[in-house]
Amino acid sequence: MIKETGSISVNTSDIFPIIKKWLYSDKDIFLRELVANGNDAITKMKRLVSLGEASIAPDENYYIRVILNKPEKTIKVVDNGIGMTAEEVKKYINQIAFSGAKEFLEKYKDSDEGSQIIGHFGLGFYSAFMVSDTVEIDTLSYQEGAEAVKWISDGGAGYEMTASDHNSRGTVVTLHIADDSNEFLDKYRLRSILEKYCSFMPVEIYLEDAEEERKKAEEAKKKKSKDKKEEETDDKDGGKPEPVNDTHPLWLKKPSECTEEEYKEFYRKVFMDFQDPLFWIHLNVDYPFNLKGILYFPKLRNEFENMEGQIKLYNNQVFVADNIKEVIPEFLLLLKGVIDCPDLPLNVSRSFLQNDGQVRKISEHITKKVADKLNSLFKTERENYEKYWEDINPFIKFGCMRDDKFYDRVKDILIYKSTKGDFTLLKDYLKNNEDKHKNQVFYISDEKQQAQYIQMFKDNDLEALYLDSIIDTHFISFLETKESGVRFSSVDSDISEALKEKSDTKKDNKTSKKALETLFSQVLDRKDLKIKVESLRAADIPAVIVLSEHSRRMQEMMRRFGNLGMENFPAEQTLVLNQRNELISRLAELKDREDRKEDVEMICRHIYDLAMLNHRPMEPEEMKQFVQRNNDLLIRLAKLDS
């Protein structure tokens, strides 16, 4: 008969307090570790059976049961795996398991967040003491004639090992929950932990509430709805509850075996997003490393939503963590997906991962597969590719700026929406407009505010590209470094030569131009505003405001930093007067008439306001003056015939 007391072979005076407190915010990993141990025990049993070294009943199913007993303040984790003998308990629990936990904690307890282990793997069985006052193990080995063993420890240096009345193969770990961990004595809390870490473990996991089962049994007994045999059978298999996990997740299947609806259903289930993804990439690699997974391109409902996605990292179907940028390239974290990589080293720090050659290869492979998918869509499904572009372009552009290799792979499939009404490649845009503005790209950053400028481009058969998302401000600068000699200009930052009327010496009077510039300078009295006279093809436009490209980009940069220092940054604005416009021409004639001086000044200010309205929203005081000036002009107009 087994009976033994003793001390764990490693000094525990410091280690148990660390186990209980060091990972306080992540105490829920204790359940993952214990369930993972049960999964390992079952995996070993399956292996022995496959080798013919052990046998099981034909109708026996493997399982892991998590049993909550709130009145008794216990949680049991039960498996029907390989089990342990007394000698194996002493070896694996007293020596190996404890030493592993000690080594892990000693290594990482003083580390900062950036160097801590990913997913906090490594604590194993002794993570149970993070939430428990006392931990018990009851186990029976698969070996013929083996005796059941009970092991008990209260987290001190000692343990007690005796015979157990456990009569079925496998192990039961019983946690007597500490007062500071009562949060785990809640069925829904336990379910959320299992769903977080164990949703796709390969062994069925059942969550049971002993108190609920007791009440059900009492009710059933009173109603005599079940006979004793049925009750015993139900009790044995946990009342036939539904498992909390899916043992065969979609990513383990071959892509050819998966239907479109299965991909969408998996997406909805895992990410609780009930809007279908645009498309997906199924990763299935066996060499030179083992990698499986599915990456989804989500549909963005607006520009600011989903700019950070969710990539779930698994190791042999056990959840590790979300968005591990040391493994998954940062720009890919805009996507949603699952990646299962058994070859990923877990018992290392994040800083180690950053410098690990194997991890780098995994990261590069994922990036390559994403680029390959995008290229395939562009070549074989161009119409869909263009339809997806509004949603996927922030991700692609961010990826280009973050990863030169990714840029090299996708640079020839970067498309741009054009004022011509279709999508174009940059090289095609430059070629088509070479005679009009060589190596210069005109772009639209605000379709509503720049409507007048856009119309001018269309009326004069000029082409501009829509680059109006937040990321485009930075992407434009990035492209200028990659595309040698190419310059980007906003449609309202420059007057293209193609928008100007060819010079006519009779109409293009330099003296008249100078007089108009002087007139507006005196009336507006704005030192920060340049005045320029041009002959524009669009004769119906009296004036436009242009803001230098340098000023525009500086403003965008300052806006990123909350406009700090913007008040001291001079904006290089120019009021361009259209000499071909009838109103401007009339002003040139009236400017020297003393009886019309007040009218001329009012019209000059009004022309400026109209130009500014097409450039940016007015400030409250500006709008107030503009409205008042409108009223005054209408009154003057009404008095003309009186």
Say what the pLDDT of residue 570 is.
Answer: 61
- pLDDT band at 238; cut points 50, 70, 90: very low
Say what the pLDDT of residue 106 is.
Answer: 65
Mind listing the pLDDT tens digit for each residue in 125-160? 888 888 999 999 999 999 999 999 999 998 766 789
Tell me the pLDDT of the chain averaged across its residues.
84
* Lowest-pLDDT choice from 92-96, 188-192, 268-272, 520-524: 92-96
Same domain flag for 386 and 477:
no
Judged against a pLDDT cut of 70, whether residue 560 lies above it is answered with no
CATH of the domain at 311: 3.30.230.80
Same domain flag for 226 and 258:
no
Same domain flag for 144 and 218:
yes
Domain of 125 in residue numbering reads as 3-236
- pLDDT band at 263; cut points 50, 70, 90: very high
Q: Which of 452, 484, 516 is the last residue of a domain?
A: 484
CATH of the domain at 457: 3.40.50.11260
pTM: 0.79
Same domain flag for 465 and 576:
no
If you average pLDDT over residues 515-519, what whole number do you get? 88
Number of domains the chain is built from: 4
Same domain flag for 35 and 155:
yes
Q: Which of 183, 202, 236 is the last residue of a domain?
A: 236
CATH of the domain at 100: 3.30.565.10
Are the beta carbons of 321 and 344 closer than 8 angstroms?
A: no
| Residue 311, phi then psi, degrees to nearest 5 | -110, 115
Same domain flag for 527 and 617:
yes
Encoded tokens for 22: 């060091």
Same domain flag for 362 and 423:
no
Judged against a pLDDT cut of 90, whether residue 435 lies above it is answered with no
Cα 46 from Cα 170, distance rounded (Å): 13
Same domain flag for 348 and 460:
no
Judged against a pLDDT cut of 70, whether residue 500 lies above it is answered with yes
Strand-by-strand arrangement of the 205-209 sheet: 3-7, 158-163, 149-153, 132-140, 170-177, 74-79, 64-69, 205-209
Are the beta carbons of 203 and 62 closer than 8 angstroms?
A: yes
Q: How far is CA 78 from the centre of its chain?
A: 36
Are the beta carbons of 400 and 407 closer than 8 angstroms?
A: yes
Q: Which of 180, 201, 236 is the last residue of a domain?
A: 236
Same domain flag for 30 and 88:
yes
